[in-house]
Amino acid sequence: MSGKLAEKAKEVFRESFSRGPDGVVFAPGRVNLIGEHVDYNDGLVLPIPVSAGTAIAWARSDGDRTEAFAADFGETDTFSPNKPEKPHKVDWRSYIRGMAAQMDGGLPAIQLAITGDLPKGSGLSSSASLCIAAGRAYADAVGNSVDATTLARRAQQTEHDYAGVACGIMDQMAVAAGKPGQAMLLDCRDLSYSHVALPESWGVLVIESGVTRGLVEGEYNARRQQCEAAASALGMTSLRDARMEMLEDANLAQPEKNRALHVVGEIARVRQARSAIADANLPEFGRILREGHASLRDLFEVSHPEVDLLVERVQETIGDTGGVRITGAGFGGSVVAVMPRDKVNRVMQDYAGRALRVI
């Protein structure tokens, strides 16, 4: 956590509650290098934390209601810490209430001041960041240590129950267990993971497209349902167990067949990407990213014309020595670009104010 963001959270707390906090917690955002829309198919993913995230200053309260102030929205919320009701609409309140509902043994009344520097709707997992930060604040308030996997599961359940998004668990695990500057190879079937250091000569940027994405309007959940239908038609519990030759031979309807083709191909690309990192083979890693973007655009249909144009322009700048693709759930958001480190400054200048350096 940057000292600047922590100090801002403390300042907001003092202004909101006329006293100092008991503590400050932080959770980063994340960008996914490769492995998109496969976490809810029990697949493999390769996310990496970003430096931006969510900071929450907190203190126990003598009252019987939890009070929260979200500085970035200028909004407040109060709720029963042990029986938090779902808000009438999905917003930041949904996540802090949902995480409170997941806490074992209940919570005391708490005061929270929330701030962050993740662009909302940019595909950098601001919702998972908020959930994990809230979970850490609640755990600290009751003096309990909570492991990363438990926090991630609680955050995923919050997304399902309080936000209405049937997400997988990649975002939550990357935020809860990721290490700064290192990718995480995560198996979403058993949640085993390892940290993967990228070669020092590589640079990673996230660039906002300017197209704000939304997930609750049905498209994300529809993709998950289509994947589940494809797996069922193949007689499987998930597409993790499918193979490309099986899909070619199966009489799957569309769009289910295209969704399955993406998932099976994307899981294979994660394995290829891990090998490219081990070999320090950036041109190969770039090819994998480009192939992944084409699959998300054409087979999974979650890209956007403006995102596609951004991918093409950044790719022209970095050439075949790197790769660019849409990252996150899609429907807008950001792109991730992996390139030689000596090209990072050029791209950041081209997209000043829109580019975030990861490493």
How far is 41 from 290, CA to CA, in rounded Å?
Answer: 22
Task: Name which of 21, 120, 110, 9 is nearest 128 in CA terms.
Answer: 120
In degrees and rounded to multiples of 5, residue 256 shows phi and psi of -60, -35
Q: What's the maximum distance between 2 C-alpha atoms anywhere in the chain?
A: 67
* Phi, psi (rounded to 5 degrees) for 308: -60, -40
Burial of 312 (0-12, 13-18, 19+ CB in 10 A): exposed
Say if residue 255 is preceded by a cis peptide, omega within 30 of 0: yes
Cβ(234)–Cβ(264) below 8 Å: no
Tokens of 212: 């704000």
- Beta-carbon contacts of residue 32 (< 8 Å; ≥ 6 apart): 45, 46, 47, 48, 170, 174, 327, 328, 336
Q: CA-CA distance, 220 to 71, in Å (whole number)?
A: 29
Residues taking part in catalysis: 171
The one-letter code for the residue type at 329 is: A
Q: Are 216 and 164 in contact (CB under 8 A)?
A: yes
Return the number of other C-beta atoms located less than 10 Å from residue 160's C-beta: 13
- Tell me the three state secondary structure of residue 331: coil
Residues 6 or more apart in contact with residue 119 via CB below 8 angstroms: 126, 208, 334
Q: What tokens were used for 62?
A: 């003598």
